[in-house]
Amino acid sequence: MKFLCVECDRQMAFEERQLPGDGTLAAAFRCPQCSRVVALLTNPMETQLVASLGVKIGGATLPPQPLEMVRGMVTTGRDDAFDEGREPGAGSGPIWSMEARERLARVPGFVRGMVKRIYADYAKDRGIAEITPAVMDTARNELGLEGM
Ligand SMILES: [Zn+2]
């Protein structure tokens, strides 16, 4: 959060900050050239919002991380959330070669089950009994799944 002294076209410097007990926040910024001072006063809800974004008034501003909550939910989710519990080789699904399993293991956990299923469905649709890295390459090109 920065203030610009329009008159001088100078960025104002953070001067002081008060956090009264009632939850309001006041921060003063002074123009280094003309010494004009502006104060920012926020209500408790705004203070809470700013605090929750990790923004430090006057100090270093941390990059906000709006996806933090989503990321936390995803990383604590089950790896096989999209997998429907199908074991490779068991039942109707195709089997996975050792190399293909190793490659699959490098896929980020939260999408691994989904990626595995995409390849399994691809192989099944084409009557491929064993998924190998070559099959994965072909599927990736055909399905446009670069990076999976
Ligand atoms: Zn000024």
pTM summary value: 0.38
Average pLDDT over residues 19-24: 65
Tell me the C-alpha distance between 140 and 47, whole Å.
48
With contact defined as beta carbons under 8 Å apart, do 86 and 120 qualify?
yes
Concatenate the DSSP letters of all residues of 84-111 into one string. Answer: TTPPTTSTTSPEE-HHHHHHHHTS-HHH
CA of 15 to the centre of ligand 1 (A): 14
CA of 63 to the centre of ligand 1 (A): 28
Torsion over CA: 116, 67, 73, 105 (sign): positive
48, two tokens: 């809470």
Protein residues with C-beta less than 5 angstroms from the ion ligand 1: 5, 7-8, 31, 33-34, 36
> Is the model's pLDDT at 9 over the cut of 90?
yes
Model pLDDT, residue 46: 61
Tell me the C-alpha distance between 79 and 85, whole Å.
11
CA 48 centroid distance within chain: 22
Tell me phi and psi for residue 10, to 5 degrees: -120, 145
Tell me the C-alpha distance between 135 and 88, whole Å.
15
Model pLDDT, residue 49: 57
Model pLDDT, residue 33: 93
* pLDDT confidence tier of residue 86, bands split at 50, 70 and 90: very low
* pLDDT confidence tier of residue 23, bands split at 50, 70 and 90: low
Mean confidence (pLDDT) of the chain: 73
Report which residue type is found at 142: E
CA of 4 to the centre of ligand 1 (A): 8
Helices (H) and strands (E) in the chain — how many of each? 5, 7
> Is the model's pLDDT at 80 over the cut of 50?
no
**pLDDT tens-place string over residues 100-125:** 999 989 888 878 888 888 899 999 99
* pLDDT confidence tier of residue 16, bands split at 50, 70 and 90: confident
Tell me the C-alpha distance between 116 and 133, whole Å.
12
CA of 17 to the centre of ligand 1 (A): 20
Instruction: Tell me what percent of the residues of the chain surpass a pLDDT of 90.
Output: 24
Average pLDDT over residues 13-33: 76
Residue with tokens 């270093």: 60
